[in-house]
Amino acid sequence: MTTGQGAIDPGAPPSGTGCVECLDSGGWWLHLRRCALCGHIGCCDSSPSQHARGHAGSAGHPVARSFEPGEDWFWDYEAGQAVSGPPLAPPAARPDMQPSPGPRGRVPPDWRSHLHHDGVERPPAG
């Protein structure tokens, strides 16, 4: 694992506590990812809309960090691999009381059938 040089700004705060695009569109997510450069919060590759990957491509910000409680791994979408990175500005994760999938009230009863199972972002082994 190498650090995504130039793709991480440790001082950039997260854009909020949920996927920006899902909140704007009435959608929902499984897990959240935080852009390591600008702090944009998007949904993971397993989520129906995969907004974190979309942000990485459209903004040219390839590195994201998990925004899930207890997770501190980084993923470089461009390289397709885990990378290392420094601690980011708080908060480090969505609030513990916020459900996953979320947000509360928008997740369909059959949510599992809407997930993408071929997403490639993964935490590093170990």
- In DSSP terms, which residues pair with 110 in a beta bridge? none
* Residue extents of the structural domains in the chain: 1-87
Burial class (CB in 10 A: 0-12, 13-18, 19+), 86: exposed
Q: What is the CATH number of domain 1-87?
A: 3.30.40.10
| pLDDT tens per residue, range 25-82 | 999 999 999 999 999 999 999 999 999 999 999 999 999 999 999 999 999 999 999 9
Confidence of residue 1 (pLDDT cuts 50, 70, 90): very low
Please report which helix (H) or strand (E) contains residue 21, including its range: helix 20-25
Burial class (CB in 10 A: 0-12, 13-18, 19+), 109: exposed
